[in-house]
């Protein structure tokens, strides 16, 4: 079995420009692809149900059990997964930067208490809690976004806390303290703006993480309501047809893996450029 470190080394060998180009192509296909295809994602072709990928019948990646085009459904599901992942990642970015900036700047007992709370939060089986909440209160897009954001913000908060603690003694912060600015004003107008470049870099890591969580929830049937569905929902459908029509599973799985791979490699390359210590390591 290949270890995690070996896999990470292999992924790092993929050139960043190739990863960026692949990611851009996948996003572009998800954005405009369904409009360019002759079949809608929910349009059944009863004469060609469960046909294998081919050119003669026009279904390049085949159809599912009721004749819906697999390529159209995969690209349309990409819109949902990418959009939900991006919005949830932005929510996690706001939470992580605000929490980390407050903990790092305030310092002392407050910082220790906030980090202890963060450790407890990170130790919780959060995905199980999310599944329970979505099961009890039903599928809701705001609840889904909040749940995904809550699952991926903790690592950013730790990094932001360390950087905010360093900024606590920066000359511009000390000058703001000298003129009587309140801690809340200093955090909002001086500390957080300095953390935005760090947040932009970590956004590249938050997005694939959020997409993966959304796909997991979609596989369990807890993502967005029908007829919209993400890649996780298509994977759940594909598992049911795996024996008779394996292409129904392979297409969304391949696009999900390619997106996560490209986004992870591109974000790692960006972090290496921003943080020279990572490159030296």
Domains, the chain, with CATH or none? 14-33+64-280 (1.10.3720.10)
pLDDT at 13: 53
CA–CA separation, 190 and 188 (whole Å): 6
**CB-based contact 127:151 (threshold 8 Å):** yes
Structure confidence at residue 9 (pLDDT): 43
pLDDT at 198: 86
Please count the other Cβ atoms lying within 10 Å of the Cβ belonging to residue 134: 19
Residue 204: what pLDDT?
83
CA–CA dist 186, 102 (Å, integer) = 10
Per-residue model confidence (pLDDT) at position 2: 41
d(CA 55, CA 58): 5
pLDDT tens string for the chain (281 positions)?
344 444 444 444 567 778 888 888 999 999 998 888 888 888 888 888 889 998 888 888 999 989 899 999 999 999 999 999 899 999 999 999 999 999 999 988 999 999 999 998 888 787 777 778 777 777 777 888 888 888 889 889 999 999 999 999 899 999 999 998 999 999 999 999 999 988 888 888 899 989 998 898 888 888 777 677 889 999 999 999 888 899 999 999 999 999 998 888 877 777 666 554 444 44
What is d(CA 21, CA 139) in angstroms, rounded to the nearest whole number? 34
> In the prediction, which pLDDT does 5 show?
40
- Lookup result for tokens 């992870």: 264
- Return the half-sphere exposure (C-beta side, CA atoms, 13 A cut-off) of residue 266: 20
| Secondary-structure breakdown of the chain: helix, strand, coil percentages, each rounded to the nearest 5 | 75, 0, 25
Under 8 Å between Cβ of 231 and 81:
yes
pLDDT at 228: 76
pLDDT of residue 272: 64
**Considering the entire predicted model, what is its pTM?**
0.82
């Amino acid at each position: 079995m290949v270890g995690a470190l070996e896999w990470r080394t292999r992924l790092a060998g993929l050139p960043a420009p190739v990863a960026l180009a692949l990611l851009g192509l996948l996003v572009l296909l998800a954005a405009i692809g369904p409009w360019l295809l002759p079949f809608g994602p929910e349009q059944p072709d009863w004469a060609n149900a469960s046909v294998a990928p081919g050119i003669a019948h026009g279904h390049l990646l085949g159809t599912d059990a009721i004749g819906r085009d697999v390529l159209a459904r995969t690209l349309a599901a990409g819109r949902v997964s990418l959009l939900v992942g991006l919005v949830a990642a932005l929510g996690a970015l706001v939470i992580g930067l605000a929490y980390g900036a407050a903990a790092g700047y305030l310092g002392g007992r407050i910082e220790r208490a906030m980090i202890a709370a963060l450790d407890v939060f990170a130790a919780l089986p959060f995905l199980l809690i999310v599944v329970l909440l979505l099961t009890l209160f039903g599928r809701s897009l705001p609840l889904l976004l909040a749940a995904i954001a809550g699952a991926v913000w903790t690592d950013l908060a730790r990094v932001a806390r360390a950087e905010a603690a360093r900024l606590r003694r920066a000359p511009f912060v000390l000058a703001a303290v000298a003129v009587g600015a309140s801690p809340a004003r200093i955090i909002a107008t001086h500390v957080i703006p300095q953390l935005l470049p760090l947040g932009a870099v970590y956004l590249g890591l938050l997005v694939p993480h959020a997409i993966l969580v959304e796909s997991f929830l979609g596989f369990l049937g807890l993502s967005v309501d029908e007829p919209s569905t993400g890649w996780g929902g298509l994977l759940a459908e594909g598992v049911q047809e795996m024996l008779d029509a394996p292409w129904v599973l392979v297409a969304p799985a391949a696009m999900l893996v390619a997106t996560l791979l490209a986004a992870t490699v591109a974000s790692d390359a960006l972090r290496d450029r921003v943080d020279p210590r990572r490159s030296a390591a």
